[in-house]
Structure 1
Amino acid sequence: MAKGKRITGAARDQLTADVAKEYDGGATIRAIAEKHHRSYGLVHHLLTEAKVTLRGRGGPIRRAAA
């Protein structure tokens, strides 16, 4: 699938299934986007369409300086 090419029909359904499986397997949205040469936003949208429960952001909690 060429970078930047619109994805429709069965190809989109297959990409959605692949993305959901990878995300459920522990991959990050950014890693999936890079692997498939797609934007973070598209991958996030596909996961939402697939009704995948998204993980929290993680990382250290930032606190206001005292």
Structure 2
Amino acid sequence: MQNSKKITSLTWKKGARVNGLEREEAAEKFKDWYLKDRLSIREIGEKTGRSYGFVHRMLSEAGVVLRGRGGDRRSARRVKSTAEN
């Protein structure tokens, strides 16, 4: 008989292992939040009580192509020098 237990909550005790069907379902839910709801990895981590690394790993396992970092990626020195000209 297969384990047909559905996850009821996406919050776990700190350091709790997430395996099997529960892990697959959590990965799909994280994928939905990340792609459809546009939540960040940090926001998903806060929502579920898990670390950035855990959420990142779950998204990668689910085959998600991660978004690039946001914000201005130029260095402060370069921004300052262009403002003076």
The 5-angstrom pairing of residues 1-66 of structure 1 reads 1-25=12-36, 26-63=38-75, 65=77, 66=81
Aligned length in residues: 66
Q: Name stretches of at least 5 consecutive residues in structure 2 with no aligned partner.
A: 1-11
| TM-score, with length taken from structure 1 | 0.88
Instruction: Tell me how far apart the structure 1 counterparts of residues 75 and 52 of structure 2 sit (CA, whole Å).
Output: 27
Larger Rg belongs to? 2
| TM-score, with length taken from structure 2 | 0.70
Q: Any idea what SS the aligned residue of 2:22 has?
A: helix
Two-structure CA RMSD over aligned residues (Å): 1.3
What letter matches 1:19 in structure 2? F
Q: Name stretches of at least 5 consecutive residues in structure 1 with no aligned partner.
A: none
Instruction: Tell me how far apart the structure 2 counterparts of residues 41 and 53 of structure 1 sit (CA, whole Å).
Output: 15
Runs of 4 or more, structure 1, over 4 Å off, are: none
